[in-house]
Structure 1
């Protein structure tokens, strides 16, 4: 869920690129082409993809199971209970695999980090695919366990207008990504508390936004149940809102990250965004 959580390095994924001995210009060209694709064949990268798939599976299984059980057992879990389950699930999975894959579990987070140059774009399709697969498998498991006459939809649906849910999803995902950027990418923060901070943010968001939009904050969280149940009503809300909110949250944090420097120093040699990007890569 957060890149660089529990790790001290830069953005994940710039490891394992093969370097071949070049004998002539043709070999040089082949080496350049191969080095851009070899990253997808390395054991560390495969481990990251497996970690993202399993982490998303267990996150969605636990969170959506709380929703299904609450519907199936006469509201026994309650809204506060569902919120706590989501928050705890995020927290424990961040601490479990954050040091392996960065613990994104969320296409919106992955895309937001990529736009800030804190995650390589060439790895985004693999990460997003792993997250959607994990969510779909978890939703399928729940569908098998709770099938029959009481077939409960574990996905997200707007209870009011589409615009209301879109705005809510944008705001809560902005809030989530802002927190992730603060605790997981700024070396001045206490990185060991990242899982607790992110989990608590998810808990808070689900508590008040769950009855309105379902508090997705995660396109994979909404896509998995929708694919399994072939129920796509309002799915665009849960694709557009979280992705736009995450990108905005990440960039707004980048703006305030450097307020300890004088404005003339920030804008002295280049535009603010270029300076921010350069400082991000060096931090």
Structure 2
């Protein structure tokens, strides 16, 4: 691979995550900062906005890098689909950078609104005022360790679904370019059903990139290390969940796909014909 091609892929990954964060965290700002919130009684709108942000990112960048846009997805692809291990760390770095840039765009848009919200609430950024715009935290009755388990499960669902949607032997998968929309809807469905648990990070770059940006722009210890040192949970949980979700698809579904079985059955015959020639 040429350096130019690798650079293009890394730029693509950063742009994809920047798109997702710019749109998704802007929706989070509208949910949190306004009273009445446009999403307070229409939570599905928030979820579908995050999902469509993922869809837009895929359509914009998939031809260059495949749009992993998530370190957990990159890890799963390296484990089960032959993605080169030498590109895993560079992809992760580009994805986190994209999250950082996306958060910067959100602050450019909503900075005055965040400050106004904090004034009304009698809070400061360092106390965590408006932090939910940028990064996740445990929800009602959720402890950090429970959140870790949740993130493993949620990201497992995500990667399992992505593998199903993109599997070439899955004859029920969406054709043409429909996969991007279905992956976006998958993200939205996870948020709609499980998002209140701890903000459905399901992506280390989605949480850590904006968290680092927030730490540098006034949120201080509210961002890093966060209450109960929560910062590592949306990193480790999704990485474990992505590996488990990919394994589940690899061992529970892929071996039994009829198209794959036909291809494996035909392979010896084709090899035999070529040998005879």
TM over 0.5: yes
Partner SS for 1:258: helix
Q: 2:182 aligns to what?
A: 197
What residue ranges of structure 1 are gaps of 5+ in the alignment? 1-15, 17-38, 262-283
Alignment RMSD? 1.7
2:46 is aligned with 1:82: yes
Alignment partner for residue 235 of structure 1, among 220, 231, 236? 231
More helix by share: 2
Post-superposition Cα deviations, 1:108-153, rounded to whole Å, max 9, x if no partner, equal 1101111124210001111111100010011122223322343522
Whether the 8 Å contact between 1:184 and 1:191 is mirrored in structure 2 is no
2:136 is aligned with 1:156: yes
Whether the 8 Å contact between 1:49 and 1:126 is mirrored in structure 2 is yes
Whether the 8 Å contact between 2:44 and 2:192 is mirrored in structure 1 is yes
Q: 1:279 aligns to what?
A: none
| TM-aligned CA deviation for residue 225 of structure 1 | 2.0
Looking at structure 2, the residues matched to 191 and 57 of structure 1 have their Cα atoms a distance apart, in angstroms, of 27
Alignment partner for residue 247 of structure 1, among 224, 243, 247? 243
Whether the 8 Å contact between 1:179 and 1:197 is mirrored in structure 2 is no
Alignment partner for residue 116 of structure 1, among 59, 80, 101? 80
What residue ranges of structure 2 are gaps of 5+ in the alignment? 119-129, 216-222, 259-277
Q: 1:165 aligns to what?
A: 147
| TM-aligned CA deviation for residue 98 of structure 1 | 1.2
Whether the 8 Å contact between 2:169 and 2:257 is mirrored in structure 1 is no
Alignment of 1:214-229 (within 5 A): 214-229=199-214
Cα distance change on mapping 1:191 and 1:237 into 2, 3 Å: farther
Q: 2:271 aligns to what?
A: none
Looking at structure 1, the residues matched to 152 and 166 of structure 2 have their Cα atoms a distance apart, in angstroms, of 21
Whether the 8 Å contact between 2:11 and 2:94 is mirrored in structure 1 is yes
Partner SS for 2:197: helix
| TM-aligned CA deviation for residue 96 of structure 1 | 2.1
Post-superposition Cα deviations, 1:77-100, rounded to whole Å, max 9, x if no partner, equal 332221010111111221221121
Looking at structure 1, the residues matched to 20 and 153 of structure 2 have their Cα atoms a distance apart, in angstroms, of 22
Q: 2:66 aligns to what?
A: 102
Alignment partner for residue 183 of structure 1, among 165, 172, 179? 165
Partner SS for 2:69: coil
Farther off after superposition, 59-68 or 224-233: 224-233
Alignment partner for residue 213 of structure 1, among 163, 187, 198? 198
